[in-house]
Amino acid sequence: MKAIIAINKLNYIGKNNELPWRCKEDLKHFKDMTFGKTCLVGHNTFKTLPLLKNRKIIIDKKGEYLEADWCIGGKKTYEKYLHLFTELHISHINNETKGDCFAPELKNLNKECKIFNYYF
């Protein structure tokens, strides 16, 4: 499974289960990467997720590991699946807005995982 995440300069990924910034370039990047794919998302993130056209959304379940093309958040879902990621795509957002959710620690990341960094 691949994962995609956006992180700002202060290492935040969210605020009130939403992105604490607006970045058109990153949203286009997210769409291009996940379009036509199955995306795994945690329950809390799903509640505030906008409609993602042409993507199948599956909601993570406690005590189970589900299969998907992409993991798209939130923090607990990233952390649960870190050991399964084959690719991690990180968007570094040029923003310093404070949030309430920091990026997950990557200490359990699959050692074979390839990391791709993008700067917006």
What digits encode the pLDDT tens for the residues 64-102? 999 999 999 999 999 999 999 999 999 999 999 999 999
pLDDT reported for residue 26: 98
Question: pLDDT band at 17, cuts 50/70/90?
Answer: confident
Q: Which residues of 2-31 are buried (b: 16+ CB within 10 A; e: fewer)?
A: bbbbbbbeeebbbeebebbbebeebeebbe
Q: Is pLDDT above 90 for 14?
A: yes
pLDDT reported for residue 79: 97
Closest among 83, 11, 5 to 39, alpha carbons compared: 5
Average pLDDT over residues 48-53: 93
Average pLDDT over residues 23-29: 98
3-state secondary structure of 80: helix
pTM of the entire structure? Answer: 0.95
Domains and CATH numbers, the chain: 2-119 (3.40.430.10)
Q: Say if residues 118 and 33 touch (Cβ distance below 8 Å).
A: no
Task: Give the whole-angstrom CA distance, residue 57 versus residue 17.
Answer: 17
